[in-house]
Amino acid sequence: MKIVILDAYTVDQGELSWDELEKVADVDIYDRTSPEDVVSRCKGAEIVLTNKVVLDAEVLNMLPRLQYIGVLATGYNVVNLNVASRQNIVVTNIPAYSTESVAQMVFCHLLNIVGRVDYYARENRKGKWSASEDFCYLDHNLFELSGKKMGIIGLGNTGMATARIAHGFGLQVFALTSKDEEALPYGIKKADIDTIFSQCDIVSLHCPLTENTKHLVNAARLDTMKSSAIVINTGRGLLVDDEAMANALNNGVISAYGADVLTTEPAPADNPLLTAKNCFLTPHIAWATREARQRLINICTENVNAFLDGEPINQVN
């Protein structure tokens, strides 16, 4: 049995271990794989693990020995599931491994925006505090989270974890969810999308990307928000119209945007959000705490072992 890992580097930069996986088969580990190298590297392998390397119909048709694809992420759009199913290839994903880490990043962005921590730290390295006439200086408005309204779009694992943390800060939590209001935990109020965007001080995006949610945050919706409002996106880049968001920030339509995702990644140099006012971007790292990445490897190993035992788990096709 041979296992090939096509793009291990984002999961493990050398500080984690694939030892448990290597106990069950020979494992070839590649940091990155270009499209033209996918077939040659996967030839002869029964098991292929991929994070972002695409396994489309053309590739799958050239890998007759392939029996199992393990996606090293929750989303599995990199695999052509229809072709995989026709060829009796089992495809699995890694669900819920980064829930707490992603919810944590929501508040990393939010606290940076409301407390301007990064701004003041950078200014003080330039000597601004040392030159102050007073024991402190205040050149940005700060505000408390307690008592503000937070709208959560999508109440799955990360949305629920975000709501739990929000309560700790004293935020009033509203959610756009398909769940019945009676089934929601205490302190979460169900609301429609227009109410959330027009009334909430903070909106955090946690819904899946579908045809209905693409550009959920667009120019028209941004125009309904408070000028002091903040949007946080740790979900998917295409939930937000990048150009519309940049225009809203530059024109003061809303106060700030904190995002860990963009429409295209890595970020093109001409993406308008890179230079927009009060826009704070992190490079798709919310999922990438050491704990979450080790959890991903552990679940990946469990998935492979379950497949080899003839009882696949976390199968998506």
Residues with catalytic annotation?
A: 236, 265, 284
Q: Which of 102, 42, 2, 18 is nearest to 300 (CA)?
A: 18
Tokens for 77, please give them. 């759009």
Three-state DSSP at 151 gives strand
CA atoms of 198 and 24, how far apart (whole Å): 54
Q: Which of 45, 27, 84, 70 is nearest to 300 (CA)?
A: 70
Task: Specify whether the CB–CB gap between 121 and 113 falls below 8 A.
Answer: no
Task: Specify whether the CB–CB gap between 28 and 8 falls below 8 A.
Answer: no
How many CA atoms are closer than 13 Å to the CA of 224, on its beta-carbon side? 14
CA atoms of 118 and 115, how far apart (whole Å): 9
Tokens for 226, please give them. 């408070």
CA atoms of 179 and 189, how far apart (whole Å): 11
CA atoms of 76 and 51, how far apart (whole Å): 9
Task: Specify whether the CB–CB gap between 145 and 171 falls below 8 A.
Answer: yes
Q: Which of 192, 114, 99 is nearest to 151 (CA)?
A: 192
Amino acid identity of residue 115, one-letter, is G
Give the other-Cβ count within 10 Å of 31's Cβ.
13
CA atoms of 148 and 202, how far apart (whole Å): 8
Task: Specify whether the CB–CB gap between 175 and 203 falls below 8 A.
Answer: no
